[in-house]
Amino acid sequence: MIPQHVAVVDTETTGIDPKTCKIVESAFVTHGYSWEQYVNPGVTIPPEVSAVHHITDEDIAGASDWNTVRSEMSGKLNGLGVTILCAHNAEFDASFLELGPDVVWICTYKAALRQWPDAPSHKNEVLCYYLGVGSRGRKGRTGNSHSALFDAQQTAALLEELLKHQSLETLVHWTKEPKMFAKIAFGKHAGKKWADIDSGYLQWMCKQPDMDKDLVGCAARELQRRR
């Protein structure tokens, strides 16, 4: 069961860049309560994005703008006593929701990378099938994958499973650290575990100014382990 002071959130958007893209749907679930709302982004939803979450311009035509919906969402979260927010890839949702710098987050994606490093994938629904949690199969296709509420419910199932193994404090701590990938996914060492990569290559990674910060974190962590 999700603790009463934790809410799991999800957003659907017009794209992946928070600088240029907008929210079209937001939802959260917490202990015994769920909320969802369409959002009018003020821009056209690209058809290739509608193909993912199945939200169209017609769907959101009469919806309120994000400032209005965010105010409603914040009011409900505060009224429920929520002090921790959770999302799968929390960095993405936090960048769109813009609920303030003081929000405490749990990222189930980062946590799953540590808790289940050998999972075939760490995407939301792959983990649900892998772990046997959440809604799987959805006979009649009721409840769309990539609707905000459905995805929040799936993430809530992952959070409940994580809490069987780790404390909330540990999950918050992991969220603040770089992603811990079990294997490197590029270059001449693609598919290898970090322990099997020579130190010279790891040191080279750490010196690259354009290298992904999470990969640098993994390389640095492995170098520190060897010391």
Looking at residue 160, which CATH number applies to its domain? 3.30.420.10
* pLDDT value for 139: 45
- Closest Cα to residue 58, out of 40, 76, 33, 32? 40
- Are 167 and 209 in the same domain? no
Residue 14 lies in a domain: yes
Provide the residue range defining the domain that includes 104.
6-176
- Taking a C-beta distance cutoff of 8 angstroms, is the pair 54, 176 a contact? no
Query: Could you tell me if 49 and 118 lie in one domain?
Result: yes
Whether 129 and 136 have beta carbons less than 8 Å apart is answered as: yes
Task: Pull the structure tokens for residue 211.
Answer: 């290298």
103 and 20 in a single domain? The answer is yes
Give the contacts of 202 (CB within 8 A, at least 6 positions apart): 194, 219, 220, 222, 223
Residues 161, 124 within the same domain: yes
pTM of the predicted protein model? 0.89
Interatomic CA distance for residues 192 and 177, integer angstroms: 22
Q: Which residues pair with 86 in a beta bridge?
A: 8, 106
Give the count of beta carbons closer than 10 Å to the beta carbon of residue 129. Answer: 15
Beta-carbon contacts of residue 53 (< 8 Å; ≥ 6 apart): 12, 24, 25, 144, 146, 147
- Whether 181 is in a domain gets the answer no
In a shared domain, residues 168 and 194 = no
Which residues in the chain come in under a pLDDT of 50?
139-142
Q: Residue 20's pLDDT is what?
A: 94
Are 96 and 51 members of one domain?
yes
Examine residue 1 and state whether it is found in any structural domain, yes or no.
no
195/106 same-domain check: no
Mark whether 37 and 90 lie in a shared domain.
Answer: yes
Residue that is last in its domain, among 156, 176, 196: 176
Q: Is residue 21 part of a domain?
A: yes
Helix (H, G, I), strand (E, B) or coil at 105: strand
Structural domain contains residue 182 = no
Same domain, 151 and 111: yes
Q: Does residue 221 lie within any of the structural domains?
A: yes
Number of domains in the chain: 2
Cβ pair 166, 155 in contact under 8 A:
no
Q: Do 61 and 133 sit in the same domain of this protein?
A: yes
User: What is residue 148's predicted lDDT score, i.e. its pLDDT?
Assistant: 94
Pair 138, 217 in one domain: no
User: Which residues face 23 on adjacent strands?
Assistant: 13
**Are residues 157 and 48 part of one domain?**
yes
Q: Is residue 209 part of a domain?
A: yes
